[in-house]
């Protein structure tokens, strides 16, 4: 056996000491490998725990057996079945809605990444409502307490329901509540955003016939019972803005803004030729038709009849009165033989310029030679 050559003479016991040192180093290495393996195992467990906490929607929660829930008698809790999260159509819908919300709130530098985690406290929903309606809500900007968050949600969702017409007898049609949104109920949040997107004619195409399996757990007679139901989030849409074919106005808006201005000037000239007869004048098509007053009066002038003042609101004060006025104008159009407008009254009230131009252009086509 060849021993390492020493740089200086050493006693014999020094050789044995060096040999034992080599043996100690070897076992130290074995111990180090063991420690590294244990550290890796700990890191893997930590990563699994972090994923369980941070994973979107916490689908793993659905694996908790019903007996783990603490419910009051007749109380219900719902959750999305884990396999529904992997549905491509549901994922597509969620991504489209997230992108839409982020586009609307781009000026506020708000970035939504997860619908359940980012919308439950009412902050984002407040900003979304204010941006879409151009109305300021009287609520605190930041609320940290659970009570404060629910109070904000109460105001925001109440305003949303008014805009959507979910008041009085129709209130039962709402598919969300303060409790469901604050508890991060994905189904309730999806229903809310889909309704807002459709109402305000969001420039998005929602995937049709999106459904999710919802597990409902209820306590009855002291026993927890669960059942699974299929919840429809979107259906088939045939109204303008959701499944419409592109027309000339889409092309003008997208590719020929200069020609669009020419069309607007022609329509302003057309409507003023008739409104001037009653000393009224339009200067801005973008805003002056949204309350339905000019549109209703224009229909009477074009057909030569007087529209009773009691049939519409000459000075509308709220959204509902404006929608009523536009409905009156639309009804008059159908009574004189025009096709029912594809736009909804809410589109006109919400200052959707394309819808306004389409309605006025139909009138221009029929009455352009009328003096």
Q: Give me the domains of the chain, ranges plus CATH numbers.
A: 83-211 (1.10.418.10), 248-368 (1.10.418.10)
* Closest of 308, 324, 358 to residue 338, by C-alpha: 358
Tens digit of each residue's pLDDT, the chain (371 residues): 444 444 444 444 444 444 444 444 544 544 555 554 554 554 554 555 444 444 444 433 444 444 445 677 877 778 888 888 899 999 999 999 999 999 899 888 889 999 999 999 999 999 999 998 888 998 888 778 899 999 999 999 999 988 888 877 777 778 899 999 999 999 999 999 999 988 887 877 788 889 999 888 888 888 888 888 999 998 866 444 444 445 566 666 666 677 778 888 888 999 999 999 999 999 888 889 999 999 999 999 998 888 888 889 999 988 888 889 998 999 898 888 887 777 778 888 888 888 888 888 889 888 888 77
Q: What is the pLDDT of residue 204?
A: 79
Let me know: does 97 contact 197? Beta carbons within 8 Å: yes
The torsion defined by the Cα of 346, 350, 351 and 356, in degrees rounded to 10, comes to -10
CA-to-CA distance for 301 and 283, rounded, in angstroms? 18
**Phi/psi zone of residue 331: left (φ > 0), alpha (ψ -120 to 50 degrees), beta?**
alpha
Q: Which residues of 157-293 form beta strands (DSSP E)?
A: 211-220, 223-232
Cβ-contact 267, 368 below 8 angstroms: no
Beta-bridge mates of residue 215:
79, 228
Structure tokens at 70: 């603490």
Residue 235: phi and psi, rounded to 5, are: -130, -155
Give the burial class of 52: count Cβ atoms within 10 A of its Cβ; 0-12 exposed, 13-18 middle, 19 or more buried. Answer: exposed
Q: Provide the pLDDT for residue 250.
A: 61
pLDDT for the residue 248: 63
- Is residue 151 within 8 A of residue 143, CB to CB? The reply is yes
């Amino acid at each position: 056996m060849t021993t390492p050559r020493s740089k200086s003479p050493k006693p014999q016991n020094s050789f044995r000491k060096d040999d034992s040192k080599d043996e100690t180093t070897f076992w130290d290495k074995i111990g180090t490998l063991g420690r590294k393996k244990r550290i890796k195992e700990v890191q893997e467990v930590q990563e699994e725990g972090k994923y369980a906490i941070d994973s979107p929607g916490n689908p793993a929660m659905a694996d908790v057996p019903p007996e783990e829930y603490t419910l009051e008698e007749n109380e219900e809790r719902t959750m999305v079945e884990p396999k529904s999260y992997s549905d491509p159509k549901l994922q597509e819908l969620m991504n489209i809605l997230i992108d839409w919300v982020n586009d609307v709130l781009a000026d506020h530098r708000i970035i939504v990444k997860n619908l359940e985690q980012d919308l439950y406290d009412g902050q984002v929903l407040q900003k979304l409502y204010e941006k879409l309606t151009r109305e300021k809500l009287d609520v605190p900007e930041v609320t940290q307490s659970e009570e404060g968050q629910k109070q904000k949600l109460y105001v925001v969702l109440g305003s949303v329901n008014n805009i959507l017409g979910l008041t009085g007898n129709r209130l039962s049609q709402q598919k969300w509540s303060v409790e469901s949104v604050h508890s991060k109920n994905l189904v309730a949040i999806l229903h809310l955003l889909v309704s807002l997107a459709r109402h305000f004619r969001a420039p998005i195409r929602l995937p049709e016939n999106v459904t999710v399996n919802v597990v409902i757990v209820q306590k009855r007679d002291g026993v927890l019972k669960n059942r699974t139901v299929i919840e429809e989030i979107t259906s088939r849409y045939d109204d303008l803005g959701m499944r419409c074919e592109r027309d000339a106005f889409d092309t003008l808006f997208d590719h020929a803004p200069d020609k669009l201005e020419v069309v607007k000037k022609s329509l302003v000239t057309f409507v003023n030729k008739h409104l001037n007869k009653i000393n009224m004048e339009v200067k801005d098509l973008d805003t002056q038709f949204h309350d339905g007053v000019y549109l209703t009066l224009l229909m009477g002038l074009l057909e030569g009849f007087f529209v009773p003042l009691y049939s519409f609101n000459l000075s509308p004060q709220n959204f509902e009165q404006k929608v009523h006025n536009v409905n009156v104008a639309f009804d008059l159009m159908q009574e004189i033989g025009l096709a029912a407008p594809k736009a909804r009254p809410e589109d006109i009230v919400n200052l959707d310029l394309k819808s306004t131009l389409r309605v006025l252009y139909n009138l221009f086509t029929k009455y352009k030679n009328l003096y």
